Homo-oligomer: A and B are copies of this chain.
């Protein structure tokens, strides 16, 4: 069994200085002679000293750990993996470390994870909330002065900052583009109806439909799991209604990939036989075949902004709720070149 931990007392003894000097070295204080500093550092290396952050936090005034908690609702969606990568880019250079936790859309798990993060004294939290999260869930954090930034999904009533994409505008652009290609029957596929994101994206869908004088058939709005599997299911349902759609804007890129899978299962070629637009522009959107037309929200960009906002609040020592709506843009690739295909052409023939 290895010996217990090496402490500043051990280092002090071995270096022939006081514990206070060791502490000064640890703090990078200019009040230490360079020779003494070098000696202490050498001893720490030699004895394998590992800082005890918990002990330090006890004494340091107003101090927290160097941890940023990041809690996401579905880690198996590549979007959130990329968001985490974006967060990492920013917090890393500020000397923080991101501890990422996944809730798999489970509210109890979310509460547990956040509670544990608080016990360990996180400096701040970036949260993509699980379905059903309420402002009351965030209140204790806000009251305790822990900076919180909501990402991707907002929580109405929560006095927390947020970084969300312009959901309404994004879907508006997607539908508008499909309409400009001549599509009249455009579906909206995927997503949970009880989330704010879904509501906003459908609002953009309806607005574009009205603006472009399109059919506004409720059957064209098909909810499903916002995953690839959910997308395959949603297109199945959309193509089994009487007056089939010829194109779709999908809740996110994962759903869009699933829609392409579902089309191929019916011997239809995405892009040629049916126009598909995604939302997110994950890395794979560019390399998929056909390359996916999508609303680019840059998940890494959202992660970076959320992290910047959080770091700003941490260093300002106050939490003033700010809302950032990340702008979106339409990236046209091959998945919606279907306007002249057999399906789309039927209305005109």
Binding site for B on A (CB under 8 A): 1-2, 5, 48, 50-55, 57-58, 65-67, 75-76, 78, 81-82, 84-85, 88, 92, 97-102, 104, 109, 112-113, 115-121, 140, 143-145, 228-229, 232, 258, 260-262, 264-265, 283-284, 287-290, 317-318
Contacts and interface: CB of A to CB of B under 8 A. Distances in A.
B145 A1 contact: yes
Contacts of A258: 287
A82 B76 contact: yes
Nearest to A97: B116
A85 to B, nearest CB: 7
A331 to B, nearest CB: 17
A112 B97 contact: yes
21 contacts: A1-B318, A2-B144, A5-B144, A48-B140, A50-B119, A52-B119, A67-B120, A84-B102, A85-B102, A88-B102, A88-B104, A98-B101, A99-B101, A100-B100, A120-B120, A228-B283, A228-B287, A229-B283, A262-B289, A264-B289, A265-B289
Contacts of A289: 260-262, 264-265
Copy number in the complex reads 2
Contacts of A92: 109, 112
A53 B99 contact: no
Given A50-B115, A261-B289, 7 more contacts: A48-B144, A67-B116, A85-B104, A97-B101, A98-B101, A228-B287, A262-B289
A55 B290 CA distance: 56
A100 B97 contact: no
B229 A50 contact: no
A266 B133 CA distance: 46
B67 A75 contact: no
Nearest to A139: B48
Contacts of A55: 54, 58
Contacts of A85: 75-76, 102, 104
